[in-house]
Chain A
Amino acid sequence: MEESRRKFLTQSLQTLGLCSASGLIWGAFLDEAKSDPLILRPPAALSEDEFLKKCIRCGLCVEACPYETLKLAAPGDKKPLGMPFFEPRKIPCYMCEDIPCVPVCPTGALDEKSVTTNGELDINLSRMGVAVVDEKSCIAFWGIQCDACYRACPIMDVAIKLEYKKNERTGKHAFLMPVVDSDFCTGCGLCERACVTKKAAIYVLPRSVALGEVDSSYVKGWDKSDEARVSEAKKKIETTEISKQKPVDYLNDGGL
């Protein structure tokens, strides 16, 4: 009796130990394998954390994509295994109006609601990433006329605008510089695909990587909607009492 109990306990302990040991290795692998901060997801994808949880890796979005933009990460791609992503320099998202890739998602990892207004799909609401310009390698910033990205943008003049500035070097030409408005950029990458430089001077990054975040204490006082954030705020005035002593006394009373 005693012997069999001891055997049972030892074996249980052994099992637990083996599970923990393999769990540690497996866990270390998972921690590495799940993180790729620069990955671009299909339209309407949940935040990366939630997406990693929900995506079941069925590839229905990939099959629905008519441009072969989306791919499932295969071993060797060094991206979270089996999940959809795209590389705009190779094939960008062509922003289909009926967004075929989203409604087919069975798990809700691609959230149809996030690209729907008034019951209609609107691809312009998608936020796959945001385009960023490297001014040093953008030839428009050198003064050479190029508006490839601007013309490629499906929301031209909204998501990418051209900013004009006098070219002081020549004195008679203008810079026509592409500027991205991150409020409207969907991150489709058509600009990155169109960029004429050897390595794209405009490229899409995940919004979580490229965009900053302002502390809530900064308020745009000139913007009514932003100002509304503090309309409920209670005024709190703190004053420090001015010393009644005269400076002369204060300096001469030996306290210093």
Chain B
Amino acid sequence: MKYLILRRLSQFSIIFLYFGANAWGWKILQGNLSSSKIFETIPMSDPYAILQIFFAGSVVAVDALIGGLVALAFYVIIGGRAFCSWVCPINIVTETASYVRGKLNIQKYQEGRVIITRNSRYYILVTSLVLSSIFGVAAFEFLSPISIVTRGLIFGLGVGVATLVLIFLFDLFVLKDGWCGHFCPLGGFYSLIGRFSLIRVKHNAETCTACMKCKEVCPEKDVLFMVSKESLSVNMGECTLCGRCIDVCGDNSMKFHIRDYLKKESK
């Protein structure tokens, strides 16, 4: 539970700081996840949005460029999809859906009915860039549930609440980990840039009793291919560093570590 609580704390406090900036004029964290200002000095912008704007045929001003680089550097070093599980508010919705899905045993009666590749997110990522250049607007930003919901929580949600319901129902009844694990191009983007990040989960096969609880809770099972077989660092970019495998592991076989590029064995 430790990491789950920490993550919720991180997600809620980020939204709360944004909300406070708009509602009460706090200067700690202004803007939203598309672009923000920290303490009125450090800019931080969504690099994927800037990429789309670039494909739409426009280069953003210096402020946003620096902001984009700051975010990019942060996630390249920390681990790209840390955004997904520690920052993104949609994650709360999809994890809840996944939890309810497990409780209702929906997966059991649905086995093999929906086959959608997890690579869809990369195809959607490419499609979004092509569409951005054709229509001259940042294509994904026009329907991104992440922006709709964060903006909504800060500035007023309107009927944007439908987006939440849609994603919840889809993940609950149609496809397990549907949005975050299959379609979200922002998650795909962060998977790509987080490939070589320093913070990683490490598996220790020697203490592992192969209970497979970690694989059960993991929203990106493919990244845990080594469990009970080999002691390896979970290095695939799709790992969201959510720490659920660590929370659930009774054998102390999972823990966060800092990838050491100098040592050969921890590839």
Give the chain A neighbours of B63 by CB distance below 8 A: 105-108
Establish whether residues B130 and A58, one from each chain, have CB atoms under 8 Å apart when the complex forms. Answer: no
Establish whether residues B58 and A106, one from each chain, have CB atoms under 8 Å apart when the complex forms. Answer: no
Establish whether residues A74 and B159, one from each chain, have CB atoms under 8 Å apart when the complex forms. Answer: yes
Establish whether residues B148 and A81, one from each chain, have CB atoms under 8 Å apart when the complex forms. Answer: yes
The tally of residues in A whose CB lies under 8 Å from a CB in B reads 38
CA distance A56 to B22 in the complex (A): 17
Establish whether residues B135 and A34, one from each chain, have CB atoms under 8 Å apart when the complex forms. Answer: yes
Provided the pairs A53-B58, A106-B43, A107-B35 are in contact, do residues A60 and B159 lie with their beta carbons within 8 angstroms? no
Whole-angstrom distance between the Cβ of B130 and the nearest chain A Cβ: 7
CA distance A53 to B56 in the complex (A): 6
Establish whether residues B30 and A60, one from each chain, have CB atoms under 8 Å apart when the complex forms. Answer: yes
Q: Is A23 an interface residue (CB 8 A)?
A: yes
Main SS of the interface on chain B? helix
Give the chain A neighbours of B124 by CB distance below 8 A: 22
Option from B53, B143, B148 in Cβ contact (under 8 Å) with A54? B53
Q: Per-position contact with A for B143-179: 1 when CB-CB < 8 Å, else 0?
A: 1000110011011111110110000000000000000
Q: Is A2 an interface residue (CB 8 A)?
A: no
Q: Is B49 an interface residue (CB 8 A)?
A: yes
Q: Per-position contact with B for A174-200: 1 when CB-CB < 8 Å, else 0?
A: 000000000000000000000000000
Give the chain A neighbours of B76 by CB distance below 8 A: none
CA distance A63 to B21 in the complex (A): 7
Establish whether residues B131 and A82, one from each chain, have CB atoms under 8 Å apart when the complex forms. Answer: no
Give the chain B neighbours of A77 by CB distance below 8 A: 158
Option from A23, A34, A53, A63 in Cβ contact (under 8 Å) with B53? A53
Give the chain A neighbours of B138 by CB distance below 8 A: 53, 56
Establish whether residues A106 and B35, one from each chain, have CB atoms under 8 Å apart when the complex forms. Answer: yes
Provided the pairs A63-B22, A74-B158 are in contact, do residues A106 and B32 lie with their beta carbons within 8 angstroms? no
Establish whether residues A82 and B148, one from each chain, have CB atoms under 8 Å apart when the complex forms. Answer: yes
Provided the pairs A33-B142, A62-B22 are in contact, do residues A76 and B159 lie with their beta carbons within 8 angstroms? yes
Give the chain B neighbours of A72 by CB distance below 8 A: 151, 155
Establish whether residues A59 and B43, one from each chain, have CB atoms under 8 Å apart when the complex forms. Answer: no
Option from A52, A57, A107 in Cβ contact (under 8 Å) with B151? A57
Closest 10 A/B residue pairs (Cβ):
A108-B61, A74-B158, A58-B35, A76-B159, A106-B63, A107-B60, A106-B64, A53-B58, A58-B31, A75-B160
Sampled A-B contacts (6; CB under 8 Å): A31-B135, A34-B135, A53-B136, A62-B155, A80-B137, A107-B63
Given A58-B45, A63-B21, output 14 extra A-B contacts at Cβ < 8 Å: A22-B124, A53-B136, A58-B34, A60-B30, A60-B31, A62-B22, A63-B22, A74-B151, A74-B157, A76-B158, A76-B159, A105-B63, A106-B43, A106-B67
Identify the B interface with A (CB < 8 A): 21-22, 25, 30-32, 34-37, 43, 45-46, 49-50, 53, 56-58, 60-61, 63-64, 67, 123-124, 126-127, 130-131, 134-139, 141-143, 147-148, 151-152, 154-160, 162-163
Identify the A interface with B (CB < 8 A): 15, 18-19, 22-23, 26-27, 29-31, 33-34, 49-50, 52-54, 56-60, 62-63, 71-72, 74-77, 80-82, 104-108
